Structure 1
Amino acid sequence: MEENRARRVVDALRDRGIDARMEKAGVYQFGLWIKIPGGREAIWDTDGSAGLEAQVMRDGVLVGFVPSIPGSDDFTEEQVVDAIARTDYDQPVATQRRTAPVPAAPLPRQGGVFRRFLDGFRYRD
């Protein structure tokens, strides 16, 4: 996922009350980190493939995954946010709910007032 796109998706998820942050997987390789219940975390789209998929980890051990979502290689940012919000992580192989849960209270943007400074002024708000 491209860096600025990952940043915008993280911001949209945080606006929906989903604890998300940008995951830097390598040089110019970005994805999303989502905190989920049970001490688990979902790491979305860090492998550079076109489709949207995730690994579910607990204490660094793979405990589940989200298979590639059909048609996700052409998703808009809004569709990516919706797909992540609708994901049900209760089973080892996660599934998509028909509708997203009701959004929670928005979380503050990461970095606060120092956000652009920490990111090296590489983007516009």
Structure 2
Amino acid sequence: MDENRARRVVDALRERGIDAHLARVGVYQFGVRVALGDGREAEWDTDGTAGLEAQVMRNGMLVGFVPVIEGSEDFDEAQVVDAIARTDYDRPIATQRPVAPPPGEPLPRVGGLFRRFLDGFRYR
């Protein structure tokens, strides 16, 4: 996923109350990391493939995954946000809910006032 697109997806998820962060997994390799609240984290689209999928990790160990969502290679940002928000992580092989849960209290953007300083002014 492109860095700026990942950043916009993270911001949209945080506006919905989902604890999302920009995942930097390699040189010019970005994705979305969602903290699930029980020690697990879902790492979305960090492998550079076209389809949207995730690995669910706990303490660096794979404990589940989200299979590639069919048709996701053509998703726009709003559809990516909706797909991540609709995911049900209760089973080792996660599934998509028919409808996303209601949005929670918005979370502040990571970095706050110093966000552009920390990221080196690479985006608008």
Query: Do the two structures share a fold, i.e. TM-score over 0.5?
Result: yes
Aligned partners of 2:61, 2:20: CA distance in 1, in Å? 19
1:64 aligned residue? 64
**Structure 1 letter corresponding to 2:92:** P
Report 1:1-125 matches (<5 A). Answer: 1-124=1-124
What is the CA distance between 1:37 and its match in structure 2?
3.3
For 1:90 and 1:37, locate their aligned partners in 2 and report how far apart those are by CA, in whole Å: 12
**CA RMSD after TM alignment:** 0.5
Stretch moving more, 93-102 or 37-46: 37-46
Shift of 1:41: 0.5
Amino-acid identity (%): 74
Q: Partner amino acid for 1:58?
A: R
- The alignment partner of 1:99 has SS state of coil
Q: Which deviations, in whole Å up to 9, do the C-alpha atoms of 1:17-70 show, x marking residues without a partner?
A: 000000011111100100013211000000000000000011111000000000
Unaligned residue ranges in structure 1 (runs of 5+): none
CA distance in 2, matches of 1:21, 1:27: 17
**SS at structure 2 position matched to 1:49:** coil
Q: Which segments of structure 1 move beyond 6 Å, counting only runs of 4 or more?
A: none
Structure 2 unaligned regions, length at least 5 = none
So what's the TM-score if we normalise by structure 1? 0.98
CA distance in structure 2 between the aligned counterparts of 1:84 and 1:18, rounded to whole angstroms: 9
